[in-house]
Amino acid sequence: MSEQELKALRLRIDALDEKVLELISERARCAQEVARVKMASLAEGEVPVFYRPEREAQVLKRVMERNQGPLGNEEMARLFREIMSSCLALEQPLKVAYLGPEGTFTQAAAMKHFGHAVISKPMAAIDEVFREVAAGAVNFGVVPVENSTEGAVNHTLDSFLEHDMVICGEVELRIHHHLLVGENTKTDSISRIYSHAQSLAQCRKWLDAHYPNVERVAVSSNAEAAKRVKGEWNSAAIAGDMAAGLYGLTRLAEKIEDRPDNSTRFLMIGNQEVPPTGDDKTSIIVSMSNKPGALHELLVPFHDNGIDLTRIETRPSRSGKWTYVFFIDFVGHHRDPLVKGVLEKISQEAVALKVLGSYPKAVL
């Protein structure tokens, strides 16, 4: 390509950037106007709600539907995600607590869902994320809930039994694990591998094949594992991209998860009910009396009404030995007439039924 051609193209890009800049600024001014209208229409003593997850889901979907390429739908939506995040921060920056420390996949999930213009706060444990939201110190919390290889994150499910929380969103993240070492690590004499128990389990076969006799040490998070190896000579960590970058570690092996589609689903928890978007999911907790056919009775109304169950999980109820609660996710919003009918039917048979929340299906 000639210098001339290149110069002309760069001039075109400069001109387009000017337009993009002007349009983004116009959009941001519009969002400021939205904030003004929201404030003006408040009743006496009412707290304004700036963040509207149902609206954001619709904006992203529209972008993906209209996108003509050459950028892919996900890539385009990711750019718009960040624009919205910055626009919302002009209205009011969101405060978000997540399972830390910095560099966890939960932090990456928080950024994927809310964008980077939030004030984020790492917490040491899942339960602390719940408590931080309950105390009103942050607007939302982000916690992992299930992994496609390893199943439920029990701490999260159990925390829902102890706290009154509303689920306001979900996000799915592809999880790639790497074997990481620090600059002082003697790579031929690794005697210990640190990671979160979930991550060790997600890489079990790879570890059995490559490091069968090395001690596997479970720590509170894979970011914590990454932090530890920095100062140790004979240890490695299993963690993801964010932690590797944050602690300046070298990758001895990449993408060592046993299943290539290894993904984790995260939930956004808060106090805000989310209105229907037309493409929603609902999560409930149900406890049934311990009698024959109880689970069947619970499932029949879903089947009869053609409601798609996406997940069912059983946990000890904590209120009696050998009694259980069911965590159920299904497609639909609790305000949909069909879903309302199903929930009424179940509550007639159940010992207890709690709707944890209805929220837009993950867009990204």
Ligand X SMILES: C=C(O[C@@H]1C=C(C(=O)O)C=C[C@H]1O)C(=O)O
- Kindly list the residues in this chain that would bind ligand X in the complex (CB under 6 A): 31, 34, 50-52, 55-56, 59, 84, 87-88, 91
Shortest distance in whole angstroms from residue 34 CB to ligand X: 4
Least spacing, CB of residue 350 vs ligand X, in Å? 35
Amino acid sitting at position 144 = P
Q: How far apart are the C-alpha atoms of 296 and 319, rounded to whole Å?
A: 22
Q: Which residue is nearest to ligand X (CB)?
A: 87
* Maximum C-alpha span of the chain: 81
For ligand X, the closer CB: 55 or 163: 55
Minimum CB distance to ligand X smaller for 113 or for 227: 113
Nearer to ligand X, 168 or 236 (CB): 168
Query: Which whole-number Å values give the CA distances from 247 to 103, 237, 250, 261, in the listed order?
Result: 9, 11, 9, 26
What is the Cα–Cα distance from 211 to 195, expressed in whole angstroms?
14
Nearer to ligand X, 51 or 140 (CB): 51
Least distance in angstroms from the C-beta of 48 to ligand X: 11
Helices (H), 115-230: 126-134, 154-162, 197-202, 204-210, 222-229
Alpha helices (H) along 41-153: 53-66, 73-91, 105-114, 126-134
CB of 50 to ligand X, least distance (A): 6
Q: Rounded to whole angstroms, how far apart are CA atoms 93 and 109?
A: 18
Residue closer to ligand X by CB (options 312, 362) is 362
Kindly state the smallest distance separating residue 131's Cβ from ligand X, in Å. Answer: 25
